[in-house]
Structure 1
Amino acid sequence: MWIGWLEFDLLLGDVHSLKQKRSVVRPIVAELQRKFNVSAAETDSTGLHRRAGIGISVVSGEHGHLVDVLDAAERLVAARPEVELLSVRRGLSRSDD
Protein backbone atom coordinates (compact mmCIF):
# COMPACT_ATOMS: atom_id res chain seq x y z
CA MET A 1 0.00 0.00 0.00
CA TRP A 2 1.23 3.49 -0.88
CA ILE A 3 0.41 6.62 1.11
CA GLY A 4 0.92 10.10 -0.31
CA TRP A 5 0.25 13.64 0.80
CA LEU A 6 0.59 17.21 -0.39
CA GLU A 7 0.69 20.44 1.58
CA PHE A 8 -0.12 23.61 -0.36
CA ASP A 9 0.90 27.07 0.87
CA LEU A 10 -1.39 29.60 -0.82
CA LEU A 11 -1.52 33.37 -1.06
CA LEU A 12 -5.10 34.49 -1.57
CA GLY A 13 -6.07 37.39 -3.79
CA ASP A 14 -8.41 40.22 -2.75
CA VAL A 15 -9.46 38.82 0.64
CA HIS A 16 -10.11 41.08 3.63
CA SER A 17 -11.82 38.79 6.15
CA LEU A 18 -11.89 35.22 7.34
CA LYS A 19 -15.36 34.87 5.83
CA GLN A 20 -14.03 35.84 2.40
CA LYS A 21 -11.12 33.47 2.93
CA ARG A 22 -13.52 30.57 3.60
CA SER A 23 -15.40 31.41 0.39
CA VAL A 24 -12.15 30.88 -1.54
CA VAL A 25 -10.70 27.89 0.34
CA ARG A 26 -13.82 25.75 0.77
CA PRO A 27 -14.52 25.35 -2.97
CA ILE A 28 -10.91 24.31 -3.58
CA VAL A 29 -11.07 21.68 -0.83
CA ALA A 30 -14.45 20.43 -2.10
CA GLU A 31 -13.19 20.18 -5.70
CA LEU A 32 -10.11 18.22 -4.64
CA GLN A 33 -12.30 15.79 -2.70
CA ARG A 34 -14.82 15.42 -5.51
CA LYS A 35 -12.44 15.11 -8.46
CA PHE A 36 -9.75 12.94 -6.91
CA ASN A 37 -11.47 11.11 -4.04
CA VAL A 38 -8.85 12.32 -1.55
CA SER A 39 -8.97 13.50 2.03
CA ALA A 40 -8.52 17.28 2.02
CA ALA A 41 -8.73 20.06 4.59
CA GLU A 42 -7.51 23.54 5.42
CA THR A 43 -4.53 22.79 7.62
CA ASP A 44 -2.48 25.94 8.17
CA SER A 45 -2.66 29.73 8.48
CA THR A 46 -6.23 29.48 9.75
CA GLY A 47 -6.09 32.87 11.46
CA LEU A 48 -4.60 34.82 8.57
CA HIS A 49 -6.80 36.45 5.92
CA ARG A 50 -4.58 36.19 2.85
CA ARG A 51 -2.70 32.94 3.52
CA ALA A 52 -4.02 29.40 3.53
CA GLY A 53 -2.62 25.93 3.90
CA ILE A 54 -4.44 22.99 2.36
CA GLY A 55 -3.43 19.39 2.92
CA ILE A 56 -4.50 16.29 1.01
CA SER A 57 -3.78 12.62 1.51
CA VAL A 58 -4.20 9.62 -0.77
CA VAL A 59 -3.93 5.85 -0.31
CA SER A 60 -3.38 3.57 -3.31
CA GLY A 61 -2.29 0.07 -4.09
CA GLU A 62 -0.07 1.31 -6.94
CA HIS A 63 2.74 3.83 -6.79
CA GLY A 64 2.06 5.10 -10.32
CA HIS A 65 -1.60 5.82 -9.61
CA LEU A 66 -0.69 7.64 -6.41
CA VAL A 67 1.80 9.89 -8.22
CA ASP A 68 -0.74 10.60 -11.00
CA VAL A 69 -3.37 11.69 -8.46
CA LEU A 70 -0.93 13.91 -6.55
CA ASP A 71 0.34 15.51 -9.79
CA ALA A 72 -3.21 16.18 -11.01
CA ALA A 73 -4.22 17.69 -7.66
CA GLU A 74 -1.18 19.98 -7.73
CA ARG A 75 -2.02 21.12 -11.28
CA LEU A 76 -5.62 21.85 -10.24
CA VAL A 77 -4.58 24.08 -7.34
CA ALA A 78 -1.87 25.82 -9.36
CA ALA A 79 -4.39 26.65 -12.09
CA ARG A 80 -6.84 28.40 -9.75
CA PRO A 81 -6.80 32.11 -10.69
CA GLU A 82 -7.92 33.33 -7.25
CA VAL A 83 -4.84 31.97 -5.46
CA GLU A 84 -1.09 32.03 -5.91
CA LEU A 85 0.62 28.75 -5.14
CA LEU A 86 3.66 29.68 -3.05
CA SER A 87 4.94 26.18 -2.33
CA VAL A 88 4.04 22.51 -2.31
CA ARG A 89 5.45 19.85 -0.01
CA ARG A 90 5.04 16.21 -1.01
CA GLY A 91 5.45 12.97 0.86
CA LEU A 92 5.28 9.37 -0.33
CA SER A 93 5.72 6.24 1.71
CA ARG A 94 5.04 2.58 1.48
CA SER A 95 3.18 0.82 4.26
CA ASP A 96 6.07 -1.57 4.91
CA ASP A 97 8.66 1.26 5.29
Structure 2
Amino acid sequence: MLVGVCQIDLFVPDSGSLKSKRFVLTSLKTRIRNKFNVSVSEVDGNDKWQRVTLAVSMVANERRVIDQTMSQILNLISQDGRCEILDHMLEIL
Protein backbone atom coordinates (compact mmCIF):
# COMPACT_ATOMS: atom_id res chain seq x y z
CA MET A 1 0.00 0.00 0.00
CA LEU A 2 1.32 3.42 -0.99
CA VAL A 3 0.17 6.88 0.05
CA GLY A 4 0.62 9.82 -2.33
CA VAL A 5 0.57 13.41 -1.13
CA CYS A 6 0.83 16.33 -3.53
CA GLN A 7 1.28 19.87 -2.24
CA ILE A 8 0.16 22.45 -4.81
CA ASP A 9 0.84 26.19 -4.49
CA LEU A 10 -1.75 28.23 -6.39
CA PHE A 11 -2.19 31.85 -7.41
CA VAL A 12 -5.77 33.09 -7.85
CA PRO A 13 -5.31 36.29 -9.91
CA ASP A 14 -8.93 37.46 -10.11
CA SER A 15 -9.55 37.13 -6.38
CA GLY A 16 -10.24 40.47 -4.73
CA SER A 17 -11.25 39.10 -1.35
CA LEU A 18 -11.10 35.99 0.78
CA LYS A 19 -14.73 35.33 -0.13
CA SER A 20 -14.04 35.28 -3.88
CA LYS A 21 -10.98 33.06 -3.35
CA ARG A 22 -13.06 30.67 -1.24
CA PHE A 23 -15.69 30.49 -4.01
CA VAL A 24 -13.06 29.46 -6.59
CA LEU A 25 -11.39 26.96 -4.25
CA THR A 26 -14.61 25.34 -3.08
CA SER A 27 -15.63 24.71 -6.67
CA LEU A 28 -12.17 23.41 -7.61
CA LYS A 29 -11.86 21.12 -4.58
CA THR A 30 -15.32 19.65 -5.21
CA ARG A 31 -14.48 18.92 -8.86
CA ILE A 32 -11.21 17.23 -7.87
CA ARG A 33 -12.86 15.12 -5.13
CA ASN A 34 -15.72 14.01 -7.36
CA LYS A 35 -13.63 13.19 -10.41
CA PHE A 36 -10.65 11.47 -8.77
CA ASN A 37 -11.92 10.21 -5.37
CA VAL A 38 -9.05 11.83 -3.44
CA SER A 39 -8.82 13.96 -0.30
CA VAL A 40 -8.24 17.69 -0.82
CA SER A 41 -7.54 20.28 1.84
CA GLU A 42 -6.41 23.91 2.00
CA VAL A 43 -3.25 23.75 4.15
CA ASP A 44 -1.72 27.23 3.83
CA GLY A 45 -2.58 30.71 2.65
CA ASN A 46 -5.89 30.85 4.52
CA ASP A 47 -5.47 34.57 5.22
CA LYS A 48 -4.13 35.61 1.80
CA TRP A 49 -6.44 36.80 -0.99
CA GLN A 50 -4.59 35.39 -3.98
CA ARG A 51 -2.32 32.62 -2.68
CA VAL A 52 -3.23 29.19 -1.39
CA THR A 53 -1.62 25.81 -0.86
CA LEU A 54 -3.70 22.70 -1.42
CA ALA A 55 -2.78 19.19 -0.29
CA VAL A 56 -4.15 16.26 -2.28
CA SER A 57 -3.77 12.74 -0.90
CA MET A 58 -4.67 9.27 -2.06
CA VAL A 59 -3.93 5.60 -1.41
CA ALA A 60 -3.09 3.08 -4.14
CA ASN A 61 -1.34 -0.24 -4.68
CA GLU A 62 1.00 1.01 -7.40
CA ARG A 63 3.20 4.08 -7.74
CA ARG A 64 2.14 4.42 -11.38
CA VAL A 65 -1.50 4.94 -10.37
CA ILE A 66 -0.56 7.72 -7.94
CA ASP A 67 1.70 9.45 -10.50
CA GLN A 68 -0.96 9.22 -13.19
CA THR A 69 -3.79 10.50 -10.97
CA MET A 70 -1.77 13.42 -9.57
CA SER A 71 -0.72 14.37 -13.10
CA GLN A 72 -4.36 14.40 -14.20
CA ILE A 73 -5.27 16.57 -11.19
CA LEU A 74 -2.52 19.06 -12.07
CA ASN A 75 -3.80 19.14 -15.67
CA LEU A 76 -7.36 19.79 -14.48
CA ILE A 77 -6.17 22.71 -12.32
CA SER A 78 -4.08 24.13 -15.19
CA GLN A 79 -6.99 23.97 -17.60
CA ASP A 80 -9.44 25.52 -15.12
CA GLY A 81 -8.29 29.07 -15.92
CA ARG A 82 -9.28 30.60 -12.59
CA CYS A 83 -5.95 29.86 -10.91
CA GLU A 84 -2.32 29.23 -11.81
CA ILE A 85 -0.01 26.55 -10.43
CA LEU A 86 3.08 28.21 -8.97
CA ASP A 87 4.73 25.04 -7.66
CA HIS A 88 3.93 21.47 -6.72
CA MET A 89 5.63 18.67 -4.84
CA LEU A 90 4.64 15.00 -4.94
CA GLU A 91 5.67 12.66 -2.16
CA ILE A 92 4.93 8.93 -2.13
CA LEU A 93 5.18 7.13 1.19
What TM-score, normalized by structure 1, do the two folds share? 0.90
Residue 91 of structure 1: aligned partner:
91
1:3-14 matched pairs, under 5 angstroms: 3-14=3-14
Shift of 1:89: 0.9
Query: Within 2, Cα distance between the matches of 1:14 and 1:77?
Result: 15
Residue 47 of structure 1: aligned partner:
47
Query: Within 2, Cα distance between the matches of 1:61 and 1:85?
Result: 27
How many residues are aligned here? 93
Structure 1 residue 22 corresponds to structure 2 residue 18: no
Q: Which amino acid aligns with 1:62?
A: E
Query: Within 2, Cα distance between the matches of 1:90 and 1:63?
Result: 11
Gaps of 5+ in 1: none
Whichever of the two has the greater Rg, that structure is 1
Deviation by residue 1:31-64 (Cα, 9 ceiling, x = unmatched): 1100000000111100000111111001011222
The RMSD of aligned alpha carbons is: 0.9
What secondary structure sits across from 1:3 in the alignment? strand
Deviation by residue 1:1-45 (Cα, 9 ceiling, x = unmatched): 011011111110211111111011111111110000000011110
Residue 33 of structure 1: aligned partner:
33
Identical counterparts, % of pairs: 27
- Find runs of 4+ consecutive structure 1 residues off by over 3 angstroms: none
Gaps of 5+ in 2: none
Q: Which amino acid aligns with 1:81?
A: G
Structure 1 residue 76 corresponds to structure 2 residue 85: no
What secondary structure sits across from 1:79 in the alignment? helix
